[in-house]
Amino acid sequence: MKMQKMMGVLAVLIIAAGAAFAQDHILAEAARTEETTAAGTSTTPAADKEFRSRFPRYKIEAGDSFDVSFELNPEFNQTVSVQPDGFISLRGVGDIQVAGETVPEVTETIKTAYSKILNAPMVSVVLKDFQKPFFIADGQVGHPGKYDLRGEVTLTEAIAMAGGFLDTSKHSKVLLYRKASQGWYAAEVFDIKKMEKQGNLKEDPTLHAGDMLFVPKNAFSKYRAFIPGSSFGAFVPLELP
């Protein structure tokens, strides 16, 4: 009977080790993605790789609307809405694609389009209605969910806003995902534990609109669910023959 108990505990630990290996494999893949990006072999747009940029520009999305004004040709003044496919319809020049562009980039795109029918058009673009900035916190934080992104918010501040780390959190492997035009991609892994221990937040990145942070489970929490008892005090020593 004692031998059966020992074999049962051993089997449970093997299963837990498998689960731990799976999560570590995911983290390793994220780290490799980070190294690939750093090496310059990633297909991700260069602007999206600047994780420590403290002043990211807003990029136009589907559903946004803005005013287009012409200083010398007011007859072309108009308010346009970005369609689900990322295009806008402009009076006199037709449809052009603007989703993913910043306001200065959209301004240049519209100038180029109207230069076909106007001589050196002077254009200004003012956002009217747009996607309110947000970030998503997931994993081992106090309150996972979607949060408004107001002003400059760093990764450590975002974690605090989401209720802070749980006792099951792995502080040294916090993943930060950034939304690119082609979808989500693993961008970088941050060692928050090291930052806090050294009291140095120079490497603490500023979040961009649409970012998602994920805090994985620590090593002990991977095994705790498979071990009898709900606390350290509930562990019962094995009876060896």
Q: Which residue has the tokens 């089997």?
A: 11
- Residue 225 is predicted with a pLDDT of 59
Structure tokens at 132: 């309110």
- CATH code linked to domain 2-53+133-224: 3.10.560.10
Series of mean pLDDT values for 10-residue runs along the chain (241 residues): 52 50 52 47 44 70 93 95 94 93 95 94 92 90 92 91 93 86 72 87 85 88 58 44 46
Name the residue ranges covered by the structural domains of the chain: 2-53+133-224, 65-129
- Domain 65-129 classified CATH 4.10.80.400? no
